[in-house]
Amino acid sequence: MKLNKKLLATGILSATLFAGNAFGAVSAQEAAKLGDSLTPMGAEKAGNGGAIPAWDGGLTTPPAGYKNDGIYVNPFPNEEPKFTINQSNVDQYAENLSPGQVAMIKRYDDYVMPVYETHRSAAYPEQVMKDTVDNATSVELIKSGNGLGNYQTATPFPIPQNGLEVIWNHITRYRGGSVQRNVGQVTPTEDGSFSVVKFQDELTWKTYLDDYEPGMDPNVLFYFKQAITAPARLAGNVLLVHETIDQVQEPRRAWVYNAGQRRVRRAPQVAYDGPGTASDGMRTSDNFDMFNGAPDRYSWELVGKKEMYIPYNSYKLVDRDLDYDEIIKAGHINQDLTRYELHRVWHVRATLKDGERHIYAQRDFYIDEDSWQAAVIDHYDGRGELWRVAEAHSMQFYDQIVPWYAIETLYDLLSGRYLVLGLTNEESNPYEFGVERMSRDYTPAALRRAGTR
C-alpha cells in the first residue's frame, strides 16, 4: 500500500488496514491537532502552496442577492474556468483524476471537466465541530467495525486510523439535523430522453426529534421517509427506514406502503445491492447518498490521501432558470454546467469479502477531507472491470451551514445510461431545514397517512 510519507510523518495519516479488530479513539495529544494544524473536522488546515488554499472557516455568509428562501444564489458568479480537462489533455491530468473520471472523458468527446479556482467552502455549525472534537477521544469502532461505541452525533473519527473510519464519517455526517426536500430523479435512455420521478424525502437525526430522550432507540442513527409524488402511476408509494448503527446485529428496519394495494409491508431488500427506488435498475439501495448502509460485506483499505479534481460549489446545477432538459443530455449531464476544483481527498478501497455477495466486487471511494462527503466512487464488477462511475456535485447550503449535494450522478460505462438524483430546478420548496418531527411520524402506522393520494 503506497501512502503519502509526508502525511505519515506528521501523524495526519495512518497506514492501518481494518482487518476485523476493534479500534479505539485517538489520544488527547493527537486530538489536540484539531483546531490547530487540523480543522475541527479533521482536514489539513494549511493549503498546498498552490491551487489549494488554507481553510478559513468555509462559506457561512449568504452572498448578495440571496433572499433567505432556499433558492441558492451562486456565490462565485463571475468566475471562469482556469482550464478544461478533455480528451486532448486528460492524460496530463490523470494523476489527479479517478480511473472512472478518465474513462468518462475518453468515452464521450463532450464529457469535459471545467476546472475553477478552489474554494474550501465546506463549513459546519459550531456545535457540530465541538462534538466532532469531543468524538476524537471517545468514539470507537466495535464489533468488527459494524457499529460505533460512545457515539451520539457529528463526525465520529476526525482523525481516522483506517478506511472504515473514513466511511463511517461519510455515513454519519451532519446534514442539517432534520430536513425535508422535494427532488427529482431521472434515468435517461441512451439517446437522452427521460421522464422524472419526483420524491419528497424526510431525514431526521434521532437526537433532533422533538420528543427525543437519551437512550431512545439506542441502535438508530436517523429516520428516513421517502414518498413518490410523481408520476401518477407511482405516486403515493412510500418508503420508511430506521437506519440502525449496527446493521449486522439488527438489520436496517424498512417498510414500504403500496398505494395501489393500500398496505404496509416489511422491505428487507432495501439494503446492499437491492434495487434502488424507481431507478430502472440503474442503482442499488446502497448507491443512494453515494454510499449508505452496513459495511460488513467489504474489506476496507485506507489507500492514502491525494489531490484530486472533484465536483465542488456546484451552484450552476441548482439554477432556477434551468429546465431539466438543459441539464440532462445523452450519455451524461451537461458538463458545461459543472464545476470542478482541486481538493484533498481520502482514497478508500472496498473489496468484497470471500463468500459475500454484491454486484460490485470493488469500490474505490474518494472522500472530500473538508466535508467527509464522498465526491467520486468507481465501481468494479466481478471480473474486475470498471463498471459504474459516481460523482456527487456538492454545494454549501450557506444559510444552514450544511455541506451536501446539489445532485448525485451514477454513470454506467457498459450500457451508456446513467442516473441523476436530487434535481431541484423545477421543484417548489426544494429544501426545508429545521422541520419539527416526533418519533410517531416515523412508525409503520404513519406510512398510510403519508401515502394517501
Which residues have CB under 8 Å from 104's CB, separation 6+?
A: 111, 332, 389, 411, 413
Burial of 155 (0-12, 13-18, 19+ CB in 10 A): buried
Residue 143's region, left for phi above 0, alpha for psi from -120 to 50, else beta, is left
Distance CA 70, CA 324 (A): 19
Distance CA 234, CA 228 (A): 6
Indicate the pLDDT class of residue 261, thresholds 50, 70 and 90: confident
Place of cell 394517501: 452
Q: Bridge partners of 185?
A: 197, 421
Which strand (E) or helix (H) includes residue 448?
helix 444-451
- pLDDT greater than 80 at residue 12: no
Indicate the pLDDT class of residue 17, thresholds 50, 70 and 90: very low
Residue 364's region, left for phi above 0, alpha for psi from -120 to 50, else beta, is beta
**pTM for the structure as a whole:** 0.93
Give the pLDDT confidence score for residue 3 in this predicted structure. Answer: 34
Region 252-271: mean pLDDT is: 92
- pLDDT greater than 80 at residue 254: yes
Contact 283, 369 (CB under 8 A): no
Helix segments in 192-268, DSSP class H: none
- pLDDT greater than 90 at residue 27: yes
pLDDT digits 0-9 by tens, 216-250? 999 999 999 999 999 999 999 999 999 999 888 89
pLDDT digits 0-9 by tens, 173-226? 999 999 999 999 999 999 999 999 999 999 999 999 999 999 899 999 999 999
Mean model confidence pLDDT for the chain: 93
pLDDT digits 0-9 by tens, 135-180? 999 999 987 888 899 998 999 999 999 999 999 999 999 999 999 9
pLDDT digits 0-9 by tens, 374-399? 999 999 999 999 999 999 999 999 99
pLDDT digits 0-9 by tens, 40-95? 999 999 999 999 999 999 999 999 999 998 899 999 999 999 999 999 999 999 99
Distance CA 407, CA 249 (A): 32
Higher pLDDT, 13 or 29: 29
Give the pLDDT confidence score for residue 84 in this predicted structure. Answer: 98
Contact 182, 428 (CB under 8 A): yes
Q: How many CB atoms lie within 10 A of CB 277?
A: 20
- Taken in order 143, 144, 150, 155, the sign of the CA dihedral is negative
pLDDT digits 0-9 by tens, 293-319? 999 999 999 999 999 999 999 999 999
Which residues have CB under 8 Å from 160's CB, separation 6+?
A: 14, 42, 166, 169, 302, 346
Higher pLDDT, 103 or 448: 103
